[in-house]
Structures are given as C-alpha cells and as structure tokens.
Amino acid sequence: MTTPYFYKVTFVIYISSVRTVPDSPSLSLSLSLSLSLSLSLTQTHTNTIRYHFFQSFSMRKPCCDKRDTNKGAWSKQEDQKLIDYIQKHGEGKWRSLPQAAGLLRCGKSCRLRWINYLRPDLKRGNFAEDEEDLIIKLHALLGNRWSLIAGRLPGRTDNEVKNYWNSHLRRKLKSQGIDPDNHRLQQSTTARQPGVISDGRKDKFCDTATCVEEKTCKLPDLNLTIGLSSLVEDKKQHPVPTIPKENIIKGDSPPTLILFR
C-alpha cells in the first residue's frame, strides 16, 4: 500500500504594472492573487509532481544533502583523500564519489576541487604575457566562453581564466580606453590613454591624463593586426563558434578590435 502524502500548496501570484499618468507619474498598480490547495497524494504522484515542479519553476533538487556536507575551504586531509581516490579509481561518478572516498563533501564540490586545483596537469602561478594576450584575443572572439578560452591555454582552468579576466584584464583594458565587453575603444571623452607603471611588484595601469609619475609610466607597444588563422587551423579540434553579434564591427567604424600584438 502506498503511503499517502499530504501537501498544502500555496500559490501566490503578484501581477504588477506601472503606468505613467500625467498627474501622478509614479502611480503603480499591483494585483495579487492567492490560491490555496490541500492535496492528498500517493508517493508516486508526489514524485511526478515534484519533477514537473522543479522543471517548470527551475527549482532543482539540491545535488546533495546539505546538512551532512562540509563547505568552504578544503583541508589538506580532504585534498589527499580526493587525490588518493581519483588516482585509484579515476575521475567520474562525482555524486557517489564523496561517500566512496570518505569525504563529507558534495559531489560537485569534489569535481570542482579536482578540476580547478588538484589535477596534476595544472600550471598554476602567474599568467605569462603571451597567455594574457591570448586570453584577450580569444575573449574578443568568443565572449565569456571561459571553457573554450581555457581550452586554448594548456594547464589553465576556465575558473582561473575567468577570475584573471575579471580581476586583472578587465581593468587593464579599461585603463587603455577599451571597453572590455566589446573590445572597442570607448567613445567617452574620459577614455583613458594606455599607460603602465612598473613598480617592481606588479604592473599597474594609470591614467596618463592624471599621472604624476610620468618618468615611470610607459606606453604598451600595441602593433595591432587581426588574425584568426591559428584558430581556424585546428577548428576540428577546437571548433570556432559564432562571434557574438556585439563583437562584430560594421560599416565605417574605426578598427578597434585588438586581437594580435
């Protein structure tokens, strides 16, 4: 005999609209409708309903039971357990891996830790100048498709590339007056000229209009050409996707797409 499940389901729908009325521009109308249902269902029914509910309302089941899993930074012991397990059994079956490896972690967390940090073929360390250039070129072509970009950089992960882009390259392009989203020169009058300060620790980029350290400022050598050949050459292995529409420059626009140094 199937166990009956008792569900009380409450739907609350808010329909909101804002209308511009001459005398009362901020007038807003809102309607709310609430509907309550009490259902008595078998377990089979609830499974079916739960599935469609998650699908329809994009509320997925959690990938694991959050109550019994660790979160946050990984300890050395956890890392070692994961490494040992994968060396012995190989990658894959991430959902069942934590229990098999004796880890109180979500399978997704294990996968991410391995792929982004523990994998033996990872390069780590600072990005070289040629890697920076390649990321910028590829981003101009591919947009935020980090896994594709990372695929062209041996030993680098999509997460690493994405972080490096957001924390470093984005700012670098802005300082050169280039919109990092579309790789075009910014039209604004406040667009900055390219400038770089080397302070011995890390490169910093400065605004030459306001820079007070002209002696230590240097302009980057930008000899710009556009090249796609290296991507096209092995497109079987790394297919070149469609260039995002916003990255395509039409008409008489100045050639501002910076691709190859």
Partner DNA sequence: AACGGAAACAACCGCCGATGC
Partner DNA sequence: CGCATCGGCGGTTGTTTCCGT
- The site for DNA (CB under 7 A) is made up of 47-48, 51-52, 58-63, 66, 70-74, 92-96, 105-109, 111-113, 115-117, 126, 144-148, 158-160, 162-164, 166-168, 171, 199, 201-202
| CB of 87 vs DNA, minimal distance in Å | 17
Q: Which residues are CB-neighbours of 38 under 8 A, at least 6 positions away? A: 6, 7, 8, 9
Residue 163's φ and ψ, nearest 5 degrees, are: -60, -40
Residue nearer to DNA on the CB measure, 26 or 167: 167
| CB of 77 vs DNA, minimal distance in Å | 13
* Residue 180 falls in which region: left (phi positive, over 0), alpha (psi -120 to 50) or beta: alpha
| CB of 97 vs DNA, minimal distance in Å | 8
- Alpha carbons 8 and 5: distance in angstroms, whole number: 10
Residue nearer to DNA on the CB measure, 29 or 212: 212
Strand positions, DSSP E, the chain: 5-18, 28-41, 178-179, 184-185, 196-198, 203-205, 217-218
Angle, CA 75 vertex, CA 69 and CA 77 arms, to 5°? 95
Tokens of 221: 């050598």
| CB of 260 vs DNA, minimal distance in Å | 22
Q: Locate tokens 């059994």: which residue?
A: 89
| CB of 113 vs DNA, minimal distance in Å | 5
> How many alpha carbons lie under 13 Å from residue 130 in its C-beta half-sphere?
3
Residue nearer to DNA on the CB measure, 187 or 242: 242
Tokens of 114: 């391995």
| CB of 68 vs DNA, minimal distance in Å | 13
Residue nearer to DNA on the CB measure, 162 or 261: 162
| Residue 143 Cα distances to 118, 191, 236, angstroms | 27, 22, 20
- Alpha carbons 234 and 136: distance in angstroms, whole number: 19
Residue nearer to DNA on the CB measure, 12 or 212: 212
Residue nearer to DNA on the CB measure, 28 or 43: 43
Q: Which residues are CB-neighbours of 158 under 8 A, at least 6 positions away? A: 146, 147, 149, 150
Residue nearer to DNA on the CB measure, 192 or 252: 192
| CB of 210 vs DNA, minimal distance in Å | 14
Q: Which residues are CB-neighbours of 225 under 8 A, at least 6 positions away? A: 259, 260
